Amino acid sequence: MRTPHFSRFRAAGRIGAAVAAPVLLLTGVLAVPAGAANPGPYATNVIVSSSPTTPVTGQPVTLTAKVGSGTPGRIPGGQVQFTITGNDNVTTVTCDAGNTVALAGGLASCSVSGGLLASLAPYSVSASYTDTLDSHFLADTGTRSEAVNSGTTTTVVTSSSNPTVTGQGVSFVAAVAIASPATGSLVGSVTFAGVACDGGNSVPVAGGIAQCSVSGGLSAVGSPYLVTGTYGSDPNFKASTSAKVKQVTSPAAATVVLSTNPNICTGDVCSSTPGVPQSFTGLVNSTGTDGGTGVPNGPLVFSIVAAGTKTTQSCTGGSNSIALVGGSATCSLAAGLPAHVYYIVTAKLADPNYSGASATLYLNASLWSTSIALSVPKTVVAGETFNVTAAVTPAAGYAGTSPVGGYVNITVCGGNSNGGDGCQGGAAAVVNGIASITVGGGEYPGSYRYYGVYSGDSNFYGATAKKGTLTVTKSGVTIGLTEPDGFVSVDGAPVGITATLTTENGSVGSTLVGPPTGTVTFTITGPDGPVSCDGGNVIQWGTAPGQSEGSVSCYISGGLALVTPPETDYTVQVAYSGDSDYAAGGAKVTQVVVPAVD
């Protein structure tokens, strides 16, 4: 039986006590007496090592258990049981040839060609030796904490198309490779920088590939784009960043289609009515012929230049640079265009993402016919200030909103005219279709003709008015009578009656007509017959001392007599003969004579 041998080994080799068979203990050597049979068992020591010492993820690794004994010349035999457990205390690793390995020359190796994972490191490695041959050696177990480093990766980004144009779809592919000697599967994501990927810039790696798609393409503004991809590491592999890819994007080809409203066009030649509201609309889009897509943002710059000039007409609002909305921009001219032989109308796209496309129309704006009518007051008297008005209107069918402008030359002519060369008047500006002149100071009585010629403006042809006839009559007069005591006098007291001439138009005393001429005849009649004024009853205007222009007075220094007490009425009549400028006129009052007070 082996038990006695084991007891002797433990006694002699472990504690040095005396045993039934005397032995000699030498330094490092167990001496066995001559003739002793079946020696042992012997102590063993298991040491575990790995190659490489610190592998990386997936790198093939060999774990070696070296079983030694303290007895020279004694080489253990039997087997080693390997146990390899991850740091989760759950995952175990199987050696390529199984975990039970026979010793050869004191060595047993466990090869793991699939390698270990950094995510489960450090691994707990246990190698348990058992003498399965002759039980000459005692069992022992060696352990090792196996570190595993993360594998190195490389990332390379490529473009599906370079260069591109605005709106052209493009994709960037990041190929992530595991650098030898590491092996395995990548489970991380690539984060793209420099562009905006559809669905986000963090893209999971599948089969070593991550793709960033930019289906809407890139814009020329901001080109070139420097695109990189960074593999963000995973539990088993290190991060890596690609070199920058210089993605160039050029402006895409675009088209502009120009139209006008009202649309009176044959091809690109159009016509317009001056003053009629006009608009020009440009429709813009990418051609797609170069792979570009999208709708330009603009703006669209309009130029409306009359042939032979350099100045453009301004769109309503003042700016000819109109923002595109849904690919369309409109330049409106609320007042239309002034008449001109033709205009060159251009709409040019100003968008750095698209080529400078443009479109051109040629537009003629013809003058519109007009008519003119003159009017004067129904009655005009000598010296009266009056107006002659010209109304200028577009011919029938005009649909514009622009008012008629320009000038009308209005004159009033006659042989007796107050003006130079027998005429008064001149050029009068047309405002909202109306022009007017004032004949200041009036005209002398007589027959006159009035004329009007409209010169036209940028929208309208000129026109000539039908001549009219005007008769200026003598100024009508009103004679007023006054007496200091209100036409009541005392028997025999002096009496002074004043006749004053006024006109309805205030022409008396004007520079043109001047004061009235001719005579005023007083007729004063009482119960005893006519009464005479001092100096006579026929009096010249403004000749008596103290008289003012337009008035005359009849003085009766002896007064009027009380003939029929208690009072006597006298009839006072005044008659003006008229002159070349003033019509005749008269007045009548009653002068009452009362008794003197005692």
Q: Which of 157, 199, 191 is nearest to 174 (CA)?
A: 157
Quick check: is 88 in a domain?
A: yes
Q: Which of 9, 3, 7 is nearest to 32 (CA)?
A: 9
Q: Omega of the bond prior to 224 within 30 degrees of 0, cis?
A: yes
Residue 270 and residue 238 share a domain: no
Residue 577 and residue 546 share a domain: yes
Quick check: is 245 in a domain?
A: yes
Quick check: is 12 in a domain?
A: no
Quick check: is 25 in a domain?
A: no
Ranges of beta strands (E only) in 434-564 are 434-439, 446-454, 463-464, 468-473, 477-482, 488-490, 495-503, 519-526, 529-531, 538-540, 551-556
Task: Among 417, 449, 473, identify where a domain stops.
Answer: 473
Local structure of 542: helix, strand or coil: coil
Angle at 530 between CA 524 and CA 536, to 5 degrees: 75
Residue 424's domain is classified under what CATH number? Answer: 2.60.40.10
Q: What span, in angstroms and rounded, lies between the C-alpha atoms of 328 and 589?
A: 87
Confidence (pLDDT) at 121: 96
H or E segment at 133? none
Q: Which of 284, 208, 209, 222 is nearest to 253 (CA)?
A: 284
Q: What span, in angstroms and rounded, lies between the C-alpha atoms of 272 and 258?
A: 16
Residue 269 and residue 355 share a domain: yes
**Which pTM value belongs to this model?**
0.57
Q: What span, in angstroms and rounded, lies between the C-alpha atoms of 476 and 506?
A: 10
Residue 282's domain is classified under what CATH number? Answer: 2.60.40.1930
Q: What is the dihedral of CA 488, 490, 493, 496, to 10 degrees?
A: 0
Q: What span, in angstroms and rounded, lies between the C-alpha atoms of 362 and 583?
A: 67
Confidence (pLDDT) at 28: 34
Q: What span, in angstroms and rounded, lies between the C-alpha atoms of 274 and 90?
A: 93
Residue 138 and residue 189 share a domain: no
Quick check: is 582 in a domain?
A: yes
Residues in the chain: 598
Q: Which domain holds residue 239?
A: 153-250
Confidence (pLDDT) at 21: 34
Confidence (pLDDT) at 276: 86
Quick check: is 22 in a domain?
A: no
Residue 436 and residue 398 share a domain: yes
Residue 24 makes CB contacts below 8 A (sequence gap 6+) with: 31, 33
Task: Among 250, 275, 304, identify where a domain stops.
Answer: 250
CB 186 within 8 A of CB 174: no
Q: What span, in angstroms and rounded, lies between the C-alpha atoms of 363 and 337?
A: 10
Q: Which of 98, 95, 87 is nearest to 60 (CA)?
A: 95
Q: What is the DSSP string of 228-280?
A: EEEE---SSB--EEPPPEEE-EEPBPEEEEEEEES--EETTEEEE-TTS-EEE
CB 240 within 8 A of CB 155: yes
Q: Is 72 left (phi over 0), alpha (psi -120 to 50) or beta?
A: beta
Strand partners for 371: 393
Quick check: is 34 in a domain?
A: no
Quick check: is 35 in a domain?
A: no
Q: What span, in angstroms and rounded, lies between the C-alpha atoms of 87 and 559?
A: 153
CB 538 within 8 A of CB 566: no
Q: Across the 598 residues of the chain, what is the mean pLDDT of every consecutive 10-residue run? A: 33 32 34 50 94 97 94 89 97 97 95 97 97 91 97 98 96 98 96 97 97 95 97 95 98 95 92 89 91 89 93 94 94 90 94 92 91 94 91 88 90 91 93 93 91 90 94 90 95 94 63 79 96 94 57 93 94 93 93 89
Residue 533 and residue 458 share a domain: no
Residue 246 and residue 258 share a domain: no
Q: Which of 284, 421, 419 is nearest to 355 (CA)?
A: 284
Residue 375 and residue 351 share a domain: no
Report the number of distinct structural domains present in the chain. Answer: 5
Residue 89's domain is classified under what CATH number? Answer: 2.60.40.1940
Residue 131 and residue 94 share a domain: yes
Confidence (pLDDT) at 598: 67
CB 345 within 8 A of CB 361: yes
Burial 399-428 (b: 16+ CB within 10 A, else e): ebebbbbbbbbbbbbbeebbbeeebbbeeb
CB 157 within 8 A of CB 37: no
Residue 463 and residue 386 share a domain: yes
Q: Which of 87, 46, 51 is nearest to 65 (CA)?
A: 46
Residue 340 and residue 269 share a domain: yes
Strand partners for 247: 225
Q: Is 486 left (phi over 0), alpha (psi -120 to 50) or beta?
A: left
Residue 311 and residue 281 share a domain: yes
CB 560 within 8 A of CB 570: yes
Residue 7 makes CB contacts below 8 A (sequence gap 6+) with: none
H or E segment at 8? helix 3-9
Q: What is the DSSP string of 36-82?
A: --S---B-EEEEEEEESSS-BTT--EEEEEEEEESSTT----SEEEE
Task: Among 449, 473, 497, identify where a domain stops.
Answer: 473
The one-letter amino acid code at 267 reads G
Residue 577's domain is classified under what CATH number? Answer: 2.60.40.2470
Q: Is 78 left (phi over 0), alpha (psi -120 to 50) or beta?
A: left
